[in-house]
Amino acid sequence: MILAMWSGPRNLSTTMMYSFGARKDFSIWDEPYYAAYLNMTGLEHPMRKEILAQGILNPEEVRSACVGKIPNGKSNYFQKHQTQHMLPSFDRKWIKDVTNVFLIRHPARVISSYEKKRENPTLEDLGFKQQYEIFDYVCQKTGKKPPVVDSYLVRKNPEKELRLLCSKIDLKFDSRMLKWPSGGHINDGVWAPHWYNSVWSSTGFMHSEESLPVLSKNMQLLCDDALVFYEKMKL
């Protein structure tokens, strides 16, 4: 199985990558299109130089690797994809041929977390619009609605939600998905020191999230824009 999990940033996606990476039957790939995205857009991101130096810059090469041979002799391949990285000019046809899962989180929580790492995010930075576009593409091309996983519910009851997800994608649940060693994963992206400090200290899913954070006026306006796409994904 090639499993593509689509989310925006600050969305429990790294934790989910660690969860699947704790299984013995999965290889993982952390944000395959990140370098190609930065190279194409010219955006300034933390550790941009390192990302471009180590990542694959040609999106066609990324596409080929996404659907190619699964590394390390494993039977399954978990790919953590950031939806904002999938630029309109990048070939999306391969997506319909893999198993897709969409991970969502309330925009207020995403924005509050993102601001701590990179100031003044835009709607394009957060990936909500792109996530819905890719979700709709999969629905149209496959005739089926792919699984949508709410990060709030995963943190509230990890085993229940992971069992449910596994059943939806015809994968046997493995209790190893609930625990992993602290200190990160060998396949973490080169950007991990900037973005992953919190999850590096984890050995499992964090506690349930509390009430929604209070945002500044400008960030609340951004949140309102993102909510349109978030609510569509929840339906």
Over its C-alpha atoms, the chain yields an Rg (Å, rounded) of 17
For helices 217-234 and 107-115, the axis angle rounded to 10 degrees is 140
pLDDT tens, residue order, the chain (235 aa): 999 999 999 889 999 999 999 999 999 999 999 999 999 999 999 999 999 999 999 999 999 999 999 999 999 999 999 999 999 999 999 999 999 999 999 999 999 988 888 888 999 999 999 999 999 999 999 999 999 999 999 999 999 999 999 999 999 999 999 999 999 999 999 999 998 988 899 999 988 888 899 999 999 999 999 999 999 998 7
Query: What is the pTM assigned to this prediction?
Result: 0.95
Distance CA 105, CA 30 (A): 19
Task: Using CA atoms of 63, 67, 72, 74 in order, give the dihedral in degrees to the nearest 10.
Answer: 150
Q: C-alpha angle with apex 185: 27 to 25, nearest 5 degrees?
A: 25
Do 111 and 219 form a contact (C-beta atoms < 8 A)?
yes
The neighbour count for residue 146, using CB atoms within 10 Å, is: 18
Amino acid identity for residue 140 in this structure: Q
Contacts 24+ apart (CB under 8 A), 220-225: 222/107, 222/111, 222/121, 222/122, 222/123, 222/126, 223/107, 223/108, 223/111, 225/123
Distance CA 109, CA 111 (A): 6
Predicted local confidence at residue 123, as pLDDT: 95
Domains of the chain: 2-234 (3.40.50)
